[in-house]
């Protein structure tokens, strides 16, 4: 973007100093409030030119008119004239921007909530995960099988996070990718309203375009005509000429939301229109959002980034803001219980699922005692509620046959087969094979191997793009978005495939043999919750443990010793002490 500069007149410098003194602000504080460096403030106060937009931001923070402060010359006059036009247009569209984009309402919320009230700063990964050129072995090397970062499957990328607002400042044209519910639209709404209020890029006008609405507009206007019509409806006179001038001067922050929601028939047309528009008006700032799985285009010279999952600090900020509005005393309790439940905390890294957790916690002040029910509710949001509220392109025929229950069955099969093999990551080829085995049994499916491969890829991309339950971890390498989901679907597969009342059920007998494998702990606990009766399964576990003990003389001696010691114990504390020794010994043994 072409940058212009302004400098303060001697009288303006005096006014700046007097205002700063009256407000009892330091130059360092002013720099922080204005989003610039201490050196920039020093330059301004010494009569040196600084970036015009930063100049305007400083005047806004101090409540001063830039016309009073700036030194008059030909360039300054042109900049101030443009700024006057920016303020004029912004004043007309400001109520509309605030009405359209100043609030959010998702899931079962009965009323909208202000974006500023709930917004939590987001961070970007500078290189989207799906673009990594890593092998399966390299990914697995970052994940110690029994003790790794469940929230991101490893911690090898944490150093690449960059603030979302900083990224917009540093990158003129950007594509923001993210999983469903990652907060892409909320991020755009936040910067639109902040720009609208003059607290973010005060020299620019926010232009927010929901691409699905644009694509479906009667008459199929181009992007320029569509925006001009928006302004005309906001009573901006001569909207086309004013829009063209401001765009030519690079005075717009153009926010293009939801390319993934554009119908397939319109997608190519919209992408080409955005390409032409961004090339013609190249001096402006552009941010475009799209779900990561549906991103199959390339816009030059747009830079791709990916919204990172929430970390602990972001979760705490979000929760604090959420309950401050309704029930502040819930905050501490929510965060404490979240810390006590690592699997639930794993869900909280997704803003959409964190919202679900907050909604459920509002009245009850606890998470569901049944983790299986809690996970099922979360998956219901991703498979049903959220998908129906975020319509995208026309689904392929094979995907239309997959009801939410069938999708859950398919994912259960994939989860069980990969989890049993110890595969947290699996190749695209393996995923397509498992999907192909499942959809081959659906009615009206062409089972020709070539067509089945094509349909399997369609289903894989659809589940990734529509629901975010499978995600690309590297080029052609997938995993479940959260290990919790892989564990849940594995348990679901077992619970729906067995006969919990049979004396010889092979599925439960096989699962019982994993009781000493820490990796299967959550799967076993979830299976027990899901079974209508777990009595027979628990008997299988006891039989397996008894067989292990019977085959090991040393272990029998240990248990005999503990039994003798407990008989001699007179007080409960002594019994607890002996039990602790036994527990530590058995844990080490197995």
* Domain harbouring 169, CATH code: 3.40.50.300
Q: What is the per-residue DSSP string for 431-475? A: HHHHHHHHHTTSTT----HHHHHHHHHHHHHHHHHHH-SEEEEET
- Does one domain contain both 325 and 385? yes
Number of Cβ within a 10 Å radius of residue 246 = 21
Q: How buried is residue 453: exposed, middle or buried, by Cβ count under 10 Å (0-12/13-18/19+)?
A: middle
- Does one domain contain both 169 and 283? yes
Q: Angle at CA 461, nearest 5°, toward 460 and 463? A: 65
Over its length of 590 residues, how does the chain's per-residue pLDDT go in tens digits? 456 788 999 999 999 999 999 999 999 999 888 888 899 999 999 999 998 888 988 988 898 888 889 887 766 777 788 888 988 999 999 999 999 999 988 776 778 899 999 999 999 998 887 667 777 777 777 665 444 445 455 444 445 789 999 999 889 999 999 888 899 999 999 999 999 988 899 889 999 999 999 999 999 999 999 999 999 999 999 999 999 999 999 999 999 999 988 888 898 999 999 999 999 999 999 999 998 765 567 788 899 999 999 999 999 999 999 998 778 889 999 999 999 988 888 889 999 899 989 988 887 788 887 889 989 988 888 887 666 555 555 556 677 788 889 999 999 999 999 999 988 899 999 999 999 999 998 888 888 889 899 999 989 988 888 888 998 888 889 999 888 899 999 999 999 999 999 999 999 999 999 998 988 999 999 999 999 999 999 999 999 988 988 888 888 888 788 778 777 766 554 544 454 554 455 445 45
> Is 247 inside a domain boundary?
yes
User: Which two tokens mark 381?
Assistant: 């949001």
- Does one domain contain both 293 and 161? yes
* φ, ψ dihedrals at 570, nearest 5°: -105, -20
Report the phi/psi class of residue 422: left, alpha or beta, with left for phi > 0 and alpha for psi in -120 to 50.
left
- Does one domain contain both 245 and 367? no
Rounded-to-integer distance, Cα 354 and Cα 349, Å: 7
- What total number of domains does the chain contain? 6
Rounded-to-integer distance, Cα 64 and Cα 400, Å: 59
- Does one domain contain both 408 and 476? yes
| Domain span holding position 251 | 117-307
Rounded-to-integer distance, Cα 469 and Cα 560, Å: 48
At 350 the three-state DSSP class reads coil
Spatial CA neighbour of 354 closest among 393, 315, 326: 315
> Which residues contact residue 308 at a Cβ distance below 8 angstroms, ignoring those fewer than 6 apart?
122, 123, 124, 125, 161
Q: What is the per-residue DSSP string for 370-426? A: -HHHHHHHHHHIIIIIHHHHS--SPPPHHHHT--HHHHHHHHHHHHHHHHHTT-SSE
Q: How buried is residue 1: exposed, middle or buried, by Cβ count under 10 Å (0-12/13-18/19+)?
A: middle
Report how far apart, in Å, the C-alpha atoms of 315 and of each of 309, 326, 372, 394 are.
10, 17, 22, 34
> Is 95 inside a domain boundary?
no
According to the model, what pLDDT value does residue 461 have? 87
Matching residue, tokens 């016309």: 67
Rounded-to-integer distance, Cα 108 and Cα 105, Å: 8
- Does one domain contain both 156 and 303? yes
Spatial CA neighbour of 146 closest among 521, 493, 512: 521
> Is 98 inside a domain boundary?
no
Boundary (domain end) residue, out of 286, 307, 328: 307
- Does one domain contain both 299 and 186? yes
> Is 510 inside a domain boundary?
yes
Report how far apart, in Å, the C-alpha atoms of 448 and of each of 214, 413, 436, 445, 459 are.
39, 22, 11, 9, 16
> Is 413 inside a domain boundary?
yes
CATH (domain of 25) = 1.10.260.40
- Does one domain contain both 510 and 431? no
Report how far apart, in Å, the C-alpha atoms of 41 and of each of 19, 33, 246 are.
14, 11, 27
The residue count of the chain comes to 590
Boundary (domain end) residue, out of 389, 419, 438: 389
> Is 144 inside a domain boundary?
yes
Q: Helices 38-45 and 10-23 meet at what angle, rounded to 10? A: 130
Boundary (domain end) residue, out of 439, 456, 489: 489
- Does one domain contain both 269 and 404? no
Following CA atoms 150, 153, 157, 163 in sequence, which dihedral angle do they give, to the nearest 10 degrees? -50
Matching residue, tokens 């920016």: 86
- Does one domain contain both 220 and 363? no
Q: How buried is residue 412: exposed, middle or buried, by Cβ count under 10 Å (0-12/13-18/19+)?
A: buried
> Is 570 inside a domain boundary?
yes
Give the predicted TM-score (pTM) of the model.
Answer: 0.76
- Does one domain contain both 452 and 577? no
- Does one domain contain both 432 and 484? yes
Reply yes or no: is the peptide bond before residue 275 cis, omega within 30 of 0: no
């Amino acid at each position: 973007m072409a940058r212009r500069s302004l400098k303060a007149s001697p009288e303006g410098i005096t006014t700046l100093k007097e205002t700063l003194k009256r407000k009892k602000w330091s130059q360092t504080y002013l720099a922080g409030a204005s989003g610039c460096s201490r050196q920039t403030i020093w330059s301004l106060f010494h009569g040196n030119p600084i970036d015009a937009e930063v100049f305007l931001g400083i005047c806004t923070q101090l409540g001063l008119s830039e016309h009073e402060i700036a030194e008059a010359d030909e360039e300054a006059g042109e900049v101030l004239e443009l700024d006057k036009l920016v303020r004029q247009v912004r004043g007309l569209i400001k109520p509309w921007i605030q009405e359209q984009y100043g609030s959010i309402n998702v899931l079962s919320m009965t009323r909208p909530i202000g974006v500023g009230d709930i917004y939590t700063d987001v961070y970007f990964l500078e290189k989207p995960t799906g673009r990594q050129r890593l092998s399966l072995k390299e990914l697995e090397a970052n994940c110690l099988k029994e003790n790794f970062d469940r929230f991101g499957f490893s911690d090898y990328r944490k150093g690449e996070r960059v603030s979302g607002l900083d990224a917009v400042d540093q990158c003129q044209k950007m594509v923001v990718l993210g999983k469903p519910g990652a907060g892409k639209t909320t991020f755009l709404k936040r910067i639109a309203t902040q720009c609208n209020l003059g607290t973010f890029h005060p020299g620019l006008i926010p232009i927010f375009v929901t691409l699905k609405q644009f694509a479906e507009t009667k008459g199929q206007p181009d992007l320029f005509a569509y925006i001009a019509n928006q302004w005309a409806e906001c009573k901006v006179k001569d909207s086309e000429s004013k829009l063209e001038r401001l765009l030519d001067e690079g005075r717009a922050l153009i926010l293009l939301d939801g390319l993934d929601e554009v119908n397939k028939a319109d997608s190519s047309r919209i992408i080409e229109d955005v390409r032409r528009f961004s090339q013609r008006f190249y001096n402006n700032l552009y941010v475009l959002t799209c779900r990561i799985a549906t991103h199959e285009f390339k816009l030059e010279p747009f830079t791709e980034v990916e919204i990172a999952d929430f970390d602990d600090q972001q979760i705490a900020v979000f929760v604090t803001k959420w309950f401050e509005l309704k029930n502040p005393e819930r905050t501490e309790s929510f965060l404490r219980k979240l810390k006590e439940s690592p699997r639930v905390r794993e869900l909280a890294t997704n803003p959409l699922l964190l919202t679900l957790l907050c909604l459920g916690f509002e009245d009850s002040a606890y998470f569901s005692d049944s983790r299986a029910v809690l996970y099922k509710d979360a998956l219901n949001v991703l498979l049903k509620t959220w998908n129906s509220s975020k319509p995208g392109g026309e689904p392929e025929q094979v995907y239309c046959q997959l009801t939410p229950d069938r999708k859950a069955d398919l994912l259960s099969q994939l989860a069980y087969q990969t989890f049993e093999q110890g595969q947290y990551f699996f190749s695209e080829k393996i995923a397509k094979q498992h999907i192909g085995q499942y959809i081959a049994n659906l009615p009206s499916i062409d089972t020709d191997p070539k067509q089945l491969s094509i349909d399997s890829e369609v289903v894989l991309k659809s589940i990734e793009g529509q629901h975010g339950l499978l995600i690309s971890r590297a080029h052609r390498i997938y995993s479940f978005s959260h290990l919790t989901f892989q564990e849940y679907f594995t348990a679901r597969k077992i619970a729906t495939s067995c006969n919990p009342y049979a004396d010889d059920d092979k599925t439960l007998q096989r699962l019982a043999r994993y009781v000493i494998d820490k990796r299967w702990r959550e799967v076993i606990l979830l299976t027990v919750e899901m079974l209508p009766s777990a009595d027979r399964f628990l008997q299988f576990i006891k039989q397996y443990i008894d067989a292990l003990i019977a085959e090991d003389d040393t272990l029998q001696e240990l248990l005999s010793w503990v039994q003798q010691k407990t008989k001699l114990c007179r007080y409960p504390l002594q019994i607890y002490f002996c039990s602790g020794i036994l527990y530590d010994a058995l844990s080490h043994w197995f």
